[in-house]
Structure 1
Amino acid sequence: MTIETKRTLRTRRWTDGKLIDEDFALTEVARHLADRDALVWVDLWDPDHDDLLALAREWDLDEHAVEDSLARGERTKATLYPTHTFFTVYATHLRPASDPETEEHQSRLSTTRISAFVLPRGIITVRRGAPFDIDEVVRRWDDNPDLLRHGPGALLHGLLDVVVDGQFETIQQLDDTAEELEDLLFDGQSSTKRIQRRVYRLRKELVELRRVVLPMREVINAVMRHRAEHPLAPELDSWYTDLYDHAIRATEWTESLRDMVTTIFETNLSLQDARLNVVMKKLTGWAAIIAVPTAVTGWYGMNVPYPGFDEPAGLITAALVIVLSAGGLYVLFKQRDWL
């Protein structure tokens, strides 16, 4: 995904699906919103709180919705107000694993919160957080100019479509990471500590991703339900149905990926237990072999006379007992794959 350079304000105006003007001043927004034939888009990136409140009063936006667009940690949701509909969604992307600021156990997931005020003749987007490829949204609108004749619903569809596609891309990258971990599990040369750190990071990223992906279907469902209650531009119904299907697929993929990571985590623990059992089995076998010469030398080291005491035959006998007993145990354990 291409990340744009920072532009704090973007504006556009269409009439009958044709682009008429762009990058006009905020002072002209209210006039364009009052035009029955106009379709307006205003994009604000990290706006100042007081400035946004002032603009909200001019554009007749609900103050509670404005506060939600600026508050930290706001959840993904859709809320219907008397004059507009308010949405909050999160775009996602993964930072490169080679990023020096990202430790091996730290999450690579970055999110951009996008709040949207859907008005009768336009849409106002407020973005906070990491950069987001808003140019891709504009390209989607330019590729389907006929849809823009159907009002702000077309603008909202283009925005949500890019967000869902970005979440798909993130899920795909996490799925690739999970497959790499599966290969590392059965690679005898891989460090167990490294695998544990990477599994922990992947689980952390999935938890963060689920928080923003799972509610998306409810947001899109709310849009479709609202459109059913106020039937306008039925030409957009199939587009929103397809978008809802994509959101469902993203949700199911995220859930299946979580199950896969859980399986990898449990498999890693099982393999560690199996390796530990092998080590303990080998140590036990060698301990049994070493116990034989220890027992024999201990017997012949007593300070009392015994058969062969102070005679060459005693030394030979002791050596034979040690070699034959230890060798017999070694062969027996080797046959049973204990060594």
Structure 2
Amino acid sequence: MSRTRLYRDGVLAAENFPVADISDYLPETDTAVWLDMCAPDEEDLAAISEELGLHRLAVEDAVHEHQRPKLDRYDTHSFLTAYAVRLDERTAVLTDSELAVFITPKALVTVRKSDDFAIEEVVARWDSAAELAKGGVGFLLHGLLDYIVDGYFEAVQSLDEQIEELEDMVFADRVNHKDMQRRSLALRKSLVRLRRVVLPMREVVNALMRPSLRLASEEMRPYYQDVYDHVLRASEWTESLRDLVTTIRETQLTIQSNRLNTIMKKVTSWAAIIAVPTAVTGFYGQNVPYPGFDQNWGFWVSTVAIVIISASLYALFRRKDWL
């Protein structure tokens, strides 16, 4: 399946026309063509590749999955790989959708690796900023990048909120440690995955702003700068959150260790107190004569000794905050 658009003099002139008609529009002046393809193979790209003079290596990268975010420059065009992300707030699992983009002076070709990439939202952004359509391919590319980078912001903001909830759980009186560990590991995994797609985009957007590519015109340059600022903030935010999750995990382990030490002190203190009557009664239970043997006062001496020693130990442990 494919989708097409034609902009002429900054106005949407045609839509969903046959791919074969693209060659008729390219020679015209002040035109920009958009072609979108979903999960094509090399044969599907062969015709448009010959028409636009696409490099063989770029076509192979557009077909194969799991490319890193990058911008490759060739003689007649540039090739961009990027990822849109989406976060499941219930499970804190981040999913990404890969996109390959061919950028020529008059045409923008997007190759989606699956239907997960919401291309309709990109089209909606183009329609909402129709006054910028005179920017041609630069306008189309900006709308695409703006959608992708805004997705990074939404994901990192949601992750920040979930990490704040995780911080509150650390110091709660009753903590489900198993659930907290699962949650913290899921957040860290999502942050690592987000970092892999966000950090390279800084260099990609910066390279797209170079005058040699002639994409960011004087009118479009502030908009590209805005996208660059957003991706820069998203990458820095991701880095800080990744460190924060690690700190929360270490804090949780420290609190667990401190609680365990407190419990051990209490158990040891009570064991020492309980050992006193055990020792005294054991001593007086010997089958040999001792002071007070077979006498009532001997019983009372042992009882008083148990009470005094146990009370002394209890007071000592309380003063040391062991009980």
* TM-score interval for Structure 1 and Structure 2 normalised by the shorter chain: over 0.9
Equivalent residues in 2 for 1:36-185, closer than 5 Å? 36-97=29-90, 108-129=93-114, 131-185=116-170
Q: CA deviation at 1:83?
A: 1.1
Identical amino acids, percent of aligned pairs: 50
Tell me the alpha carbon deviations over residues 45-89 of structure 1, each in whole angstroms, 9 at most, x when there is no partner.
222343223432343211111111222221000011111111001
1:198 corresponds to 2:183: yes
- The CA distance in 2 between the partners of 1:72 and 1:246, in whole Å, is 26
1:18 matched residue in structure 2: 11
1:247 corresponds to 2:266: no
With over 3 angstroms needed to count, the CA separation of the structure-2 counterparts of 1:96 and 1:46, relative to structure 1, is: farther
Q: CA deviation at 1:229?
A: 6.1
Tell me the alpha carbon deviations over residues 215-264 of structure 1, each in whole angstroms, 9 at most, x when there is no partner.
11100111112x25648732111111111111111111111111211211
Q: CA deviation at 1:306?
A: 0.7
5+ residue gaps, structure 1: 1-7
With over 3 angstroms needed to count, the CA separation of the structure-2 counterparts of 1:143 and 1:116, relative to structure 1, is: same
Tell me the alpha carbon deviations over residues 179-229 of structure 1, each in whole angstroms, 9 at most, x when there is no partner.
01000001121111221111111111111110000111100111112x256
- The CA distance in 2 between the partners of 1:49 and 1:326, in whole Å, is 85
- The CA distance in 1 between the partners of 2:298 and 2:228, in whole Å, is 89
With over 3 angstroms needed to count, the CA separation of the structure-2 counterparts of 1:232 and 1:315, relative to structure 1, is: closer
- The CA distance in 2 between the partners of 1:231 and 1:90, in whole Å, is 20
2:130 is paired with a residue whose SS is: coil
2:320 matched residue in structure 1: 336
- The CA distance in 2 between the partners of 1:129 and 1:261, in whole Å, is 31
Residues 4 and 34 of structure 2 are in contact (CA less than 8 Å); yes or no, is this contact kept in structure 1?
A: yes
Give the 4+ runs in structure 1 shifted more than 3 A.
Answer: 228-232
Q: CA deviation at 1:161?
A: 0.7
1:237 matched residue in structure 2: 221
Query: How does the TM-score come out when normalised to structure 1?
Result: 0.90
- The CA distance in 1 between the partners of 2:53 and 2:118, in whole Å, is 28
Residues 110 and 130 of structure 1 are in contact (CA less than 8 Å); yes or no, is this contact kept in structure 2?
A: no
1:310 corresponds to 2:294: yes
- The CA distance in 2 between the partners of 1:76 and 1:232, in whole Å, is 20
1:72 is paired with a residue whose SS is: coil
1:324 corresponds to 2:308: yes
Q: 1:285 aligns with which of 269, 277, 284?
A: 269
Q: Which moved more, 1:205-214 or 1:329-338?
A: 329-338
Matching residue's letter, 2:40 = P
1:3 matched residue in structure 2: none
Residues 138 and 216 of structure 2 are in contact (CA less than 8 Å); yes or no, is this contact kept in structure 1?
A: no
Q: CA deviation at 1:284?
A: 1.4
2:247 matched residue in structure 1: 263
Q: CA deviation at 1:294?
A: 1.6
With over 3 angstroms needed to count, the CA separation of the structure-2 counterparts of 1:25 and 1:329, relative to structure 1, is: same
Residues 36 and 121 of structure 1 are in contact (CA less than 8 Å); yes or no, is this contact kept in structure 2?
A: no
- The CA distance in 1 between the partners of 2:294 and 2:216, in whole Å, is 112
Q: Which moved more, 1:55-64 or 1:212-221?
A: 55-64
Paired residues in the alignment total 323
- CA-atom RMSD in angstroms: 1.8
5+ residue gaps, structure 2: none
Matching residue's letter, 1:170 = A
1:44 is paired with a residue whose SS is: strand
- The CA distance in 2 between the partners of 1:231 and 1:122, in whole Å, is 12
1:172 is paired with a residue whose SS is: helix
1:9 corresponds to 2:8: no
1:215 is paired with a residue whose SS is: helix
Tell me the alpha carbon deviations over residues 84-133 of structure 1, each in whole angstroms, 9 at most, x when there is no partner.
11100111011241xxxx6xxxx610101111101111200011246122
2:14 is paired with a residue whose SS is: strand
- The CA distance in 1 between the partners of 2:115 and 2:85, in whole Å, is 9
